[in-house]
Amino acid sequence: MTLPHILAVMGSGETSPTMVSTHRMLAAKLAKTSRAVLLDTPYGFQENAPELATKASEYFQTSINLVLEVAGLTEIIGADALAVERGLQKVADADYVFAGPGSPTYALRQWSGTSLAGLLNKKLHDGGIVTFASAAALTLGKFTLPVYEIYKVGEDPRWLDGLNILGEIGINVALIPHYNNAEGGHHDTRFCYMGERRLAILERELPDDVYVLGVDEHTGLVIDLDAETVAVVGKGVVTIRVHGESTQIASGETFSVDRLRDPAQATARDTTKMATRVVELAPAIFDNNLREATDRLNQVFLNALTNSDADGAARAALELDDAIAGWSGDTLQSDATDHARAVLRSMITRLAAAATGGLRDPREVLGPFVQVLLDLRAQVRSDKRFDLSDIIRDRLAAINVEVRDTPDGAQWGFRTS
């Protein structure tokens, strides 16, 4: 089986349910004997790095049916030279290389002076799949954002030199994942937490032949160098931003890689075609994280109970159980799993209450039968058979149905005490 030549970029959600179909599509292009490696450098500075590696490996094993071998390159500077070379050899021997969250600054510092960039370029030239997401994706361009240093520490906006893997295939960009981030709420955290003000400053510092390529969260860009095509996958859009002017390309679009090599080729016709396709496609439901999925499904559950839809309520509970399992491999979850399990337990409790008490209004269920007896009682009362009338009233009272005779006729209701 001939190896493909593919570079895949993901804006976020690389170990979430959102990207399962994309990972499976990529894995399907590999032979069963192909080797896959997890490049663990980007999050190597974190104390829970081994746990993150385990979760990522479990995600690929369970959801993608692909075994990832951990490169063991969490730390390169000052590390045992033999261990480093063994890790780099794993990357060299792999047909599939995956890297994800962490710090682009840390990753670049560790990779500096190593053969890592050359190994990745060789893979795209000779055959193989390279999938970089989130922090790792930031390193693919000619320039890289030091996100934490600017957003968290408060350093002045600036660029770092990137690996320029994209430049080796003719795409001269500063690649920015998390492009549509909205975590800031009322303050602007788009463009990987930079916001418009800082991105405008950064953009002015780029050379004329370099532009900004933005990839939304839970969105991917699959560059097939064999077909010379690019496919946008996932939830959002990919943005080509040149001197402050943006062109968006929607998920589901496939176009020539030359459009990224020369963004001036983007035409009004392409934009119109994109907008038309967006209208025609049925919108899929994507959740950005487990908490969002939990809150959405809880509302679906509540609406189902309100509408006496037992199947709908049960389906929402089952979907939440699936969501908990699906998001279990996501390395960015914190207390979201505990929250989801608490909501699921609440759903089960409410379903039990509905099974005991019923979802329909008891008056709606019993009303037709009670009315038959009340009509019969009215008839025997008109025949002066008050003894039979009292029997009917007493029998209804025995099942907590209270009958009251009024000038407008008999009224009934459930006795509450």
Per-residue pLDDT tens for 3-39? Answer: 999 999 999 999 999 899 999 999 999 999 999 999 9
> For the chain, what percent of residues have pLDDT higher than 70?
90
Q: What is the mean pLDDT of residues 182-186?
A: 85
| DSSP run (H or E) holding 36 | strand 36-38
Q: Are residues 273 and 369 in the same domain?
A: no
Q: What is the mean pLDDT of residues 177-201?
A: 93
> What's the pLDDT score for residue 369?
81
With cut-offs at 50, 70 and 90, classify the pLDDT of residue 154. Answer: very high
Residue where the block lists tokens 């929607």: 250
> What's the pLDDT score for residue 368?
83
* 366: containing domain: 362-414
- The rounded mean pLDDT for the chain is 89
Q: What is the mean pLDDT of residues 272-297?
A: 60
C-alpha to C-alpha distance for 104 and 146, rounded to whole angstroms: 7
> What's the pLDDT score for residue 377?
85
Q: Are residues 152 and 199 in the same domain?
A: yes
C-alpha to C-alpha distance for 58 and 97, rounded to whole angstroms: 16
**235, pLDDT greater than 70:** yes
With cut-offs at 50, 70 and 90, classify the pLDDT of residue 279. Answer: very low
Q: What is the mean pLDDT of residues 145-166?
A: 96
**228, pLDDT greater than 70:** yes
> How far is CA 10 from each of CA 91, 134, 218, 388, rounded to the nearest angstrom?
20, 6, 7, 78
> For the chain, what percent of residues have pLDDT higher than 90?
61
The mean-pLDDT minimum among 9-13, 218-222, 281-285, 320-324 falls in: 281-285
Q: Which letter does DSSP use for residue 295 in this model?
A: H
In-domain check, residue 252: yes
Q: Are residues 262 and 326 in the same domain?
A: no
User: 308, 329, 357: which is the final residue of a domain?
Assistant: 357
In-domain check, residue 80: yes
Q: Are residues 373 and 249 in the same domain?
A: no
> What's the pLDDT score for residue 91?
98
C-alpha to C-alpha distance for 98 and 35, rounded to whole angstroms: 11
Q: Over the range 189-220, which residues count as b (16 or more CB within 10 Å of their CB) and which as e?
A: bbbbbbbeebbeebbeebeeebbbbbbbbbbb
In-domain check, residue 30: yes
**114, pLDDT greater than 90:** yes
> How far is CA 54 from each of CA 23, 35, 60, 228, 322, rounded to the nearest angstrom?
17, 17, 10, 34, 20
Q: Are residues 349 and 243 in the same domain?
A: no
In-domain check, residue 285: no
For residue 18, what are the contacts with CB-CB under 8 A and spacing of at least 6?
Answer: 218, 234, 235, 286, 287
Q: Which residue has the higher pLDDT, 351 or 331?
A: 351
Q: Is 167 left (phi over 0), alpha (psi -120 to 50) or beta?
A: alpha
> What's the pLDDT score for residue 373?
84
Helices 81-93, 116-126: crossing angle, 10 deg rounding: 20
For residue 161, what are the contacts with CB-CB under 8 A and spacing of at least 6?
Answer: 108, 142, 143, 144
Q: Are 393 and 403 in contact (CB under 8 A)?
A: yes
**412, pLDDT greater than 50:** yes
Counted domains in the chain: 3
The mean-pLDDT minimum among 119-128, 268-277, 350-359, 362-371 falls in: 268-277
Q: What is the pLDDT of residues 68-80, one digit of tens each?
A: 999 999 999 999 9
pTM of the complete model: 0.72
**330, pLDDT greater than 70:** no
With cut-offs at 50, 70 and 90, classify the pLDDT of residue 332. Answer: low
In-domain check, residue 57: yes
For residue 277, what are the contacts with CB-CB under 8 A and spacing of at least 6?
Answer: 250, 252, 253
With cut-offs at 50, 70 and 90, classify the pLDDT of residue 362. Answer: low
Q: Are residues 71 and 99 in the same domain?
A: yes
Q: Are residues 212 and 305 in the same domain?
A: no
Q: What is the mean pLDDT of residues 353-381?
A: 77
Q: Are residues 17 and 63 in the same domain?
A: yes
Q: Are 13 and 59 in contact (CB under 8 A)?
A: no
Q: Are residues 59 and 207 in the same domain?
A: yes
In-domain check, residue 36: yes
Q: What is the pLDDT of residues 79-111, one digit of tens each?
A: 999 999 999 999 999 999 999 999 999 999 999
Q: Are residues 294 and 407 in the same domain?
A: no
C-alpha to C-alpha distance for 12 and 288, rounded to whole angstroms: 9
User: 336, 357, 378: which is the final residue of a domain?
Assistant: 357
C-alpha to C-alpha distance for 208 and 14, rounded to whole angstroms: 32
Q: Are 198 and 144 in contact (CB under 8 A)?
A: no
CATH code, 236: 3.40.50.880
Q: Are 42 and 102 in contact (CB under 8 A)?
A: yes
With cut-offs at 50, 70 and 90, classify the pLDDT of residue 359. Answer: low
In-domain check, residue 162: yes
Q: What is the pLDDT of residues 369-411, one digit of tens each?
A: 878 888 888 888 888 888 888 888 888 888 788 888 888 788 8
Q: What is the mean pLDDT of residues 264-288?
A: 48
With cut-offs at 50, 70 and 90, classify the pLDDT of residue 129. Answer: very high
> What's the pLDDT score for residue 277?
42
In-domain check, residue 337: yes
Q: Are residues 319 and 234 in the same domain?
A: no
Q: Are residues 104 and 149 in the same domain?
A: yes
User: 227, 259, 280: which is the final residue of a domain?
Assistant: 280
3-class secondary-structure state, position 152: coil
